[in-house]
Amino acid sequence: MTREVEHEITVEAAAADVYRLIAEVENWPRIFPPTVYVDHLERGPEQERIRIWATANGEAKNWTSRRTLDPRALRITFRQEVSTPPVAAMGGTWIVEPLGARRARVRLLHDYRAVGDDPENLKWIDEAVDRNSRSELAALKANAELATGSPDLTLSFEDTVRIDGAAKDVYDFLNEAGLWTERLPHVAAVKLTEDTPGLQVLRMDTLTKDGSSHTTESVRVCLPHRRIAYKQTTLPALMTLHTGYWQLDEDADGVTTATSQHTVVVNAANIRAVLGPDAGVPEARAFLRNALGTNSRATLGHAKEYAEARR
């Protein structure tokens, strides 16, 4: 039995801008709370295959979808190639309808079946689709309006280190985050779980330069030996979003370029509580750039020592 459901929301942004945010899947971890990472497997002008890692009802899952993009009609249809139980089949359509120069209605349609048409499985999918659809549409609205109205709250940056060692050894250091309390001075405590190979949940207490500690939890997608992408699901007070990745590129001489990338959105409501009464968005941006960059460069520095010792 196929279930069909529809959710919708009105967004105060131009329809073309909203469509673009949905069409460009690299935006998804920033826009949609359940989405951790999206990778292109095949890419054409109107057809593409993507692999999506996301959480559903608190569980991390991944699947592959085919998408057909129609920018003229502002429609995107999608169909999971191989669904993850308890889902037997899943597909749907994004439809963006202009309501004015800076207003659009977004409709999200789903059709799905449960494994064995089991009522309990169907109930689980109903709840996951309803929760994720409401969450995705609300987040799409908030982030589309933020992107056009308060672009200064979003900050993206990279730090790069050249390592005279193999990408595999650098990857091993980053992948084995359960050992970071022994390997990284700025990590005070860590808990790493990996129930599905390559899909990790990392909870850790990180020390900042002033000696204070904050707890974060991230879902990490590990793609040997080239990239580890992550999304924080438990955030410090100064951020409403934090995504990023570790990218490793090894050249013909065995030298690895290791890059740490961060994208954050400042939590404007907490700036003064965290940084003091005179602080504003520029101070918050500078603080986050410095704090996150310092820890990333420290991690890459220790990864460099580890990899070069194995040369």
pLDDT band at 132 (very low <50, low <70, confident <90, very high): confident
pTM equals: 0.86
pLDDT score of 258 more than 90: yes
pLDDT tens digits along 152-187: 999 999 999 999 999 999 999 999 999 999 999 999
pLDDT band at 277 (very low <50, low <70, confident <90, very high): very high
pLDDT tens digits along 140-150: 999 899 887 78
pLDDT score of 241 more than 80: yes
**What value does the mean pLDDT take over residues 220-248?**
95
Q: Long-range pairs for 293-299 at CB < 8 Å and ≥24 separation? A: 293/157, 293/159, 293/262, 294/209, 295/186, 295/206, 296/159, 296/260, 296/262, 297/159, 297/161, 297/260, 298/184, 298/185, 298/186, 299/174, 299/184, 299/260
**What's the confidence (pLDDT) of residue 63?**
86
Q: Read off φ and ψ for residue 66, nearest 5 degrees.
A: -100, 140
pLDDT band at 57 (very low <50, low <70, confident <90, very high): low
Domains of the chain in sequence order: 3-149 (3.30.530.20), 152-308 (3.30.530.20)
pLDDT tens digits along 94-119: 999 999 999 999 999 999 999 999 99
pLDDT band at 262 (very low <50, low <70, confident <90, very high): very high
**For residues 21 and 52, what is the distance between their CA atoms, to the nearest angstrom?**
16
